[in-house]
Amino acid sequence: MSHVSSPPAHGQSPLRTVQVLGGGSAGSSAHVRSLAAGLVARGVRVTVCAPSAVAYAYGFADVGALHVSVPRSSDPGSVAALRLACADADLVHAHGLHAALRASLALSGRRTPLVVTWHTRSHADGARAHLLRLLERRVARAASVVLGTSSDLVERARARGARDARLAAVALPAPRRTETSEPPPADGSEGHFEGHEGPEDPERLRHKSRAELGAVDRPLLMAVGSLVKHRGYDMLLDAARTWRHLTPAPLLVIAGEGPERAALQSRIESEQLPVRLVGRRDDVSELLAAADVALLAGSGESRSVLAQEALHARVPLVATDAGGIPELVGDAAELVPYGDARAFADAVIRLLADPERRDDLKERGTAQAASWPTEDETVAQVLSVYDELTGTLPLA
């Protein structure tokens, strides 16, 4: 399908779409902002339904979208608010499982097409795992099309009964320049797209970041993401027990917040591990660029923001070979089995001792990043799906 680069022809109504966000993780929120900008530029009317804090952080109105405040999924009024917002929509596009469930409930009894993007794999244990499967089945079957950000998510959607599941073209949106230093209140944030781009040169920023973190004369390792069990931080602390005996001992910095913070901090202190928890930061891009190696230890990442930012920034990456990571990074990272702390530690130690391998990974990372979809290609794919389902898109 050709790109739609102009508003609809005279007398032709623009396509009316509603984009639905739940809690607003960093990856899905930035994707919706990028998608909204591209759709509006092509003459599509876009309404974004999201919590007010997420809309404030990501500036959906700044790109021409209408924002309708819809509470988080735990609020009983969220479905009613969504039903009202979707009343005149030609198509609704929900991002994430919980947003998709609420959208499907809001569209009950209507023939409005529902597109769902699964950005990442959800995690649950015990009885909650059964509820998660039921939720995935409900969402997969309610959607006209499910777009998965990795092949494993596409297969998962098909296994849950999706009528039409496809691999999504999802770009890593370019960083935005902002006036504020306030971080977005994204509950599942993995990276940060609101980095400052000041007048300082990259090398000076790198030295400044390393000095602040206490890593001027020692290797700096960087991990980013919410502090929850499936991110693999316990395994990273196990690995840190191995590399703490190096001279000088590498410093692992973890940026993010979450329910596991107290337990992790307790381990760091009791075991005297060379690890710092720095909380949620608005300068993750700068911290990552200052690192010698980026670490990704989670079990179910799909299009990991950290992995993408690391390769773009030419920072060598050590990651687990789980989820969509192998598909995303190809041969541009050191991949180790999920949960194997010894293998992870050994990979980090080898990489720190091998500058030629680090340089090789930087080059491979640049090449791999160039193969990923652009924002323009992402919008084009979504438009083609919308066109299939509605047949109302204006022609360029």
pLDDT in tens, 355-368: 999 999 999 999 99
- 76-129: pLDDT as tens digits: 788 999 999 999 999 999 999 989 999 999 999 999 999 999 988 777 777 888
The per-residue pLDDT for range 256-285, each reduced to its tens digit, is 999 999 999 999 999 999 999 999 988 889
Please give the distance of CA 11 from its chain centroid, rounded to a whole number. 39
Question: Is residue 5 scored above 90 in pLDDT?
Answer: no
Mean of the per-residue pLDDT values for the chain? Answer: 87
- Look at residue 183 in the predicted model and tell me its pLDDT: 40
Q: Which tops the pLDDT comparison, 299 or 216?
A: 216
Specify which residues 69 forms β-bridges with: 50
Which tops the pLDDT comparison, 38 or 173? 38
Residue 139 has pLDDT above 70, yes or no: yes
CA 25 to chain centre: 7
Burial 224-253 (b: 16+ CB within 10 A, else e): bbbbbebbbbbbbbbbbbebbeeeeebbbb
pLDDT for the residue 303: 83
**pLDDT: which is higher, 225 or 75:** 225
Question: Would the pLDDT of 131 be above 70?
Answer: yes
Residue 254 in this model has a pLDDT that exceeds 60: yes
pLDDT digits (tens, 9 = 90+) for 21-79: 976 577 788 899 999 999 999 999 999 999 998 998 899 999 999 999 998 766 778 89
Token couple for 275: 């690890």
Q: Is the pLDDT of residue 248 over 90?
A: yes
* Cβ-contact 364, 370 below 8 angstroms: no
The pLDDT of residue 389: 96
pLDDT score of 370: 94
Instruction: Say how many Å lie between the first and final Cα of the chain, rounded.
Output: 10
Positive or negative, the Cα torsion across 48, 52, 56, 61? positive
Question: For residue 357, what are its two tokens?
Answer: 């391998």
Query: For residue 392, what pLDDT band results from cuts at 50, 70 and 90?
Result: low
Percent of the chain with pLDDT over 90: 67
pLDDT band at 217 (very low <50, low <70, confident <90, very high): very high
The single-letter code of the amino acid at 298 is G
In the chain, the domains with their CATH numbers are 16-171+374-390 (3.40.50.2000), 202-370 (3.40.50.2000)
Handedness of CA 5, 10, 12, 13 (dihedral sign): positive
Question: What is the sign of the dihedral through the CA atoms of 323, 33, 200 and 252?
Answer: negative
| pLDDT on residue 129 | 84
pLDDT, residue 8, reads 53
